[in-house]
Structure formats: structure tokens, C-alpha cells
Amino acid sequence: MRVLVVGAGGREHALCWALAGSPLLSRLYCAPGNPGIAALAEPVAIGVTDIAGLVGFARAERIDLVLPGPEAPLVAGLADALAAAGIRCCGPTAAAARLEGSKRFTKEIADAAGIPTARWESFTDATAARDFVRRRGAPIVVKADGLAAGKGVVVAETLAEAEAAIVAMLEQRSLGEAGAAIVIEECLRGDEVSLFALCDGEQALCLGAAQDHKRVGEGDTGPNTGGMGACVPPPGFTAADAEAAMQGIIRPALAAMARAGTPFRGILFAGLMRTAEGVKLIEFNVRLGDPEAQALLLLLRSDLLAALLAACDGELANFDLRWADRSSIAVVLAARGYPGEPARGGTIGGIEAAAAMADVQVFHAATALRDGQLVADGGRVLTICASGADPATARAAAYAAVRAIDWPEGFCRRDIGARAMRDEINQ
Ligand code: AMP
Ligand code: GLY
């Protein structure tokens, strides 16, 4: 099998690492990839949203399977263009990728499928939206309908904040067309869990659950980020809880998507809130999470490539995956300044020493090579992962590896997985 992974982050490095061990693999490419990925896959200098470029390359290189990491190429129609060229793509069509590309579409599917989710209304008119939040009161959540690079959700604790978000999105078009329509919804309280499922249009296979750490600061403080760390399993979320969410959320969504004429193939990511009234859907994404993927893939004991092919060929019904019965932790090393403007260009050392430690993997995200030196080239730069028999062991191994990295301009949260460890001790 000749496989092309699309993306350049830690998630794609972990995907390439998992695929590289497959006995089915003959050639692995990654567009555009990064210096860490280059050790496993041939880099291809094509951007993730250059759909014509990606399809042209896949055709010319007789690629058997394309695996997109991020959502942007899927929303832009990569799976459709590959299907037209007769090439397998483990990802949804543009119509099905609206589960991530449109918050309103997601809420409509959730309602059609009877999936528990926050009560909502959608608006394009700022006056109507303001009247609505005044009637409902705060806290309340204002969301841009379209993709907004993580800036489209405002959890407003006060009416003033909610009204400011409405004015910014609908009247000032602060997020461009992504905010031309908005969804306003009830604010849910509880712990968040990321749940992943591989889908073939009809069947869904659980890929596990993880706890993300979205805020930049320890103790969940400071601004939101793409994710500063992940821990598997999520504290207090059992395999039975995951199966219940597969049954109550993922499978009904798949059935509703099929009924709507937009069957979902690829990886479905349900962002869940564990509320006092049970587990509710916050949002869907149409890909693996980053850094959740890194922590999850560390524990996979089956052939990922065989599973992706089964999903593409509609053969997941009798498919199963084995996972190590262990804990894993992913700690993101970010450049100072992130999630604002990150400090670029700092030299990174110590990766070999960290990667040589038992049960540790180091995945690159925003790294670059300058004159033979590895340097930081973006916000989230490395993901340091470790597995262990229990959360405390995984955590100790991951932070020992973090200490081996020599990069003065980098920082990480020191409390990734701390909850899981405390819960274990208190049991
Ligand atoms: P994003 O991943 O950028 O779409 O941001 C979504 C984040 O906003 C979630 O992970 C939650 O932390 C928060 N959020 C979204 N919807 C709600 C809601 N209805 N109630 C509470 N928090 C929410
Ligand atoms: N870590 C959350 C995400 O990938 O969206």
C-alpha cells in the first residue's frame, strides 16, 4: 500500500509513526510533513488545502490511501476530489465535513438524531440575537457557524460579553464569513472528554477517549489553546462510559448523516461534556484531536492501516482493534508567547536523549531545520508522550523526557494528567 498522510503537526507525526509499523505499507508520504515526520515518510511540498496539488500527486504516485489529518482539506473537498479520481480517502466528503464546518448543521443533526446537547437557536440578525440573550441571561455561549481557527466560541459569563461577541461576529464580521451566522446555546457545566470513532458510513468503531487540556496555564487558567496536553484514559471515564457515548451519540449521528444523504466516513471526534444530567454533545470534529491522537496512538496494538482500509471499504462491521491496557500522557512543549505570537527560531536540543527513554515517543509539530539545526517554528512545537502501567508512571516518564529537552524558549504545563493521578490515589 502506498499511503499519503496530509498535515504537518504532532497528530500527523503520530499517525505516520503508527502507520510505519504496518506490514501492509510499502511507501509512506506526508504532505507537507515536518522534520520529525521526515524520518518516517517522504516529505511532499504540497500545502494541506492545495486540493488539486494533492490529488495530482496521489494520481501520479499511484497512492492507494490518503489520510487527511486536519479538517481544512476535508471541508475544502479533498475526499470528493479523490473519490472522483478513484483514490481512497479516509475522511468525509465536504458535505459530511459540515459536522465540523458548520455548528448549525451539527445542531440540526443532533436534534434529528435525538442526541443530548445544549439547547440552541441560530441567528444572522444581531438585533434578534441580542434580544434572545437578554431573555435567556448569562452565562450563555455564542458560536460562529463556520470554521474560525479556534476563535469562534465565546463562553460568555456576562450579558455584556455575549452582546459584544454578537456585535463582533455579526456586525463587525470579526471572523469574516465564518461569523455571518451564529449559534447561541445554553452553557453546559462539567468535565470535558474527547471521544473518537472510526466510521465507514454505517458502522462505527471506538478509537478511545482522552482528556484534553485546553487552557494555556496550569489549573486550567489563561486563554484557550489548540490543546496543551492529553491523558488517556480520561479520569473517571470508563470503557463503559465510552460505549454508552458510542451508543447514545456516535451511532445515532451516523444514522442521521446517512438518512440526510451525507454518510460519514472517516474519524468522528465528539467533544462531550459530562454534566449533572448526563453526557451531552458539545461539538463534532471530523478528524483526530491534537494532542489527543498522540496519547491514543501510543496505546494502539493493532494495524492502523488495516483499520483505515476497512473504514474506506465499508467493512468495519466485523473489525476490532486491540489497545494496551495502560495509561498514556501527551505533554505539549510550546514556544513562549503561545497562544499569542510565538517566539520563533530558538534551537532545540536533547530530542534523541528524550526519545531514547523507555516508553517515550517525541512527536514534532512546528519544528524546522535551519543550517542543520532543529529550531522552533510555530506555537505548539513538540509533543512528548509516554505510556505507563498507571497514570503516575506515564506522567513521571513523560516529564522525565520533557526535562531532557534543551530549549530555553519553550514551556509546558506541569499538570498534564495530574487529575488522573490524584483520582487513582484517592480510589
Ligand atoms: P472550539 O474547540 O474552539 O470549538 O471550542 C469549544 C470549547 O468551548 C469547548 O471545548 C468548551 O470548552 C467550550 N464550549 C463550547 N460549547 C459550550 C457550551 N454549550 N457550554 C459550555 N462550554 C462550551
Ligand atoms: N485538542 C482539540 C482539537 O484537536 O480540536
Ligand 2 close to Cβ of residue 211 (< 6 A): no
In the prediction, which pLDDT does 137 show? 95
Residue to mutate (ligand 2; options 15, 74, 194; most atoms within 8 A of CB):
194
Q: Which long-range contacts (CB under 8 A, 24 or more apart) does 25-30 make?
A: 25/1, 25/305, 26/1, 26/2, 27/1, 27/2, 27/3, 27/61, 28/3, 29/2, 29/3, 29/4, 29/5, 29/57, 29/61, 29/63, 30/4, 30/5, 30/6
Which residue has cell 496555564? 217
Q: Is 358 exposed, middle or buried (0-12, 13-18, 19+ CB in 10 A)?
A: exposed
Ligand 2 close to Cβ of residue 290 (< 6 A): yes
List where CATH 3.30.1490.20 sits in the chain: 125-180
Q: Would you say domain 327-421 falls under CATH 3.30.830.10?
A: no
- pLDDT category at 380 given cuts 50, 70, 90 is very high
Tell me the three cell numbers of residue 276. Answer: 449533572
The separation between the first and the last C-alpha atoms of the chain, rounded to the nearest angstrom, is 46
Does the pLDDT at position 178 exceed 90? yes
Tell me the three cell numbers of residue 256. Answer: 442521521
Average confidence score pLDDT of the chain: 96
* 376 bridge partner residues: 367
Tell me the three cell numbers of residue 300. Answer: 494502539
Q: Which ligand is nearest to the CA of 223?
A: 1
* 283 bridge partner residues: 271
Atom of ligand 2 at shortest range from CA of 11: 4
List where CATH 3.30.470.20 sits in the chain: 191-318
| Calpha distance 385→299 (Å, rounded) | 11
- pLDDT category at 426 given cuts 50, 70, 90 is low
List where CATH 3.90.600.10 sits in the chain: 327-421
Instruction: Convert the pLDDT of each residue in 47-69 to its tens digit.
Output: 999 999 999 999 999 999 999 99
Q: Which ligand is nearest to the CA of 380?
A: 2
419 phi/psi in degrees, rounded to 5: -60, -45
Residues near ligand 1 (Cβ within 6 A): 118, 141, 150, 153, 155, 185-188, 192, 214, 271, 282-283
| Calpha distance 421→109 (Å, rounded) | 37
Does the pLDDT at position 422 exceed 80? no
Ligand 2 close to Cβ of residue 227 (< 6 A): yes
8 Å CB contact between 210 and 234: yes
Q: Ligand 1, atom 6: nearest CA belongs to which residue?
A: 153
Instruction: Convert the pLDDT of each residue in 114-160 to its tens digit.
Output: 999 999 999 999 999 999 999 999 999 999 999 988 789 999 999 99
Q: Using alpha carbons only, give the angle 102, 296, 315 rounded to the nearest 5 degrees.
A: 70
8 phi/psi in degrees, rounded to 5: -145, 15
Q: Which ligand is nearest to the CA of 213?
A: 2
| Calpha distance 264→422 (Å, rounded) | 38
| Calpha distance 136→134 (Å, rounded) | 6
Residue to mutate (ligand 1; options 184, 283, 285, 292; most atoms within 8 A of CB):
283
Tell me the three cell numbers of residue 396. Answer: 513521571
From ligand 1's centre to the CA of 111, what distance in Å? 18
Ligand 2 close to Cβ of residue 9 (< 6 A): no
Residue to mutate (ligand 2; options 11, 12, 214, 292; most atoms within 8 A of CB):
292
Q: Ligand 2, atom 5: nearest CA belongs to which residue?
A: 289
Does the pLDDT at position 427 exceed 60? no
- DSSP-assigned letters across all residues of 162-200: HHHHHIIIIIS-TTGGGGSSEEEEEPP-SEEEEEEEEEE
Cα dihedral 126/129/134/140 (nearest 10)? -120
8 Å CB contact between 312 and 91: no
List where CATH 3.40.50.20 sits in the chain: 2-89
Give the fold, CATH level 3, of 125-180: Dna Ligase; domain 1 (3.30.1490)
Does the pLDDT at position 278 exceed 90? yes
Cis peptide before 233 (omega within 30 of 0): yes
From ligand 2's centre to the CA of 60, what distance in Å? 32
pTM of the model as a whole = 0.96
Ligand 2 close to Cβ of residue 289 (< 6 A): yes
Ligand 2 close to Cβ of residue 203 (< 6 A): no
Instruction: Convert the pLDDT of each residue in 307-334 to its tens digit.
Output: 999 999 999 998 999 999 999 999 999 9
In the prediction, which pLDDT does 150 show? 78
Q: Ligand 2, atom 2: nearest CA belongs to which residue?
A: 289
Q: Is 214 exposed, middle or buried (0-12, 13-18, 19+ CB in 10 A)?
A: middle
Does the pLDDT at position 423 exceed 80? no
Ligand 2 close to Cβ of residue 292 (< 6 A): yes
| Calpha distance 364→376 (Å, rounded) | 10
Ligand 2 close to Cβ of residue 92 (< 6 A): no
Instruction: Convert the pLDDT of each residue in 225-255 to its tens digit.
Output: 999 999 999 999 999 999 999 999 999 999 9
Atom of ligand 2 at shortest range from CA of 287: 4
**May I ask the CATH architecture of the domain 191-318?**
2-Layer Sandwich (3.30)
Q: Which ligand is nearest to the CA of 185?
A: 1
From ligand 2's centre to the CA of 367, what distance in Å? 19
- pLDDT category at 293 given cuts 50, 70, 90 is very high
Q: Is 238 exposed, middle or buried (0-12, 13-18, 19+ CB in 10 A)?
A: exposed
8 Å CB contact between 384 and 331: yes
Cis peptide before 32 (omega within 30 of 0): yes
Q: Which of 82, 395, 31, 110 is nearest to 281 (CA)?
A: 110
**May I ask the CATH architecture of the domain 2-89?**
3-Layer(aba) Sandwich (3.40)
In the prediction, which pLDDT does 419 show? 84
| Calpha distance 90→79 (Å, rounded) | 8
Instruction: Convert the pLDDT of each residue in 147-167 to its tens digit.
Output: 988 789 999 999 999 999 999
Atom of ligand 1 at shortest range from CA of 185: 19
Instruction: Convert the pLDDT of each residue in 62-91 to its tens digit.
Output: 999 999 999 999 999 999 999 999 999 999
Q: Which amino acid is at 342?
A: P
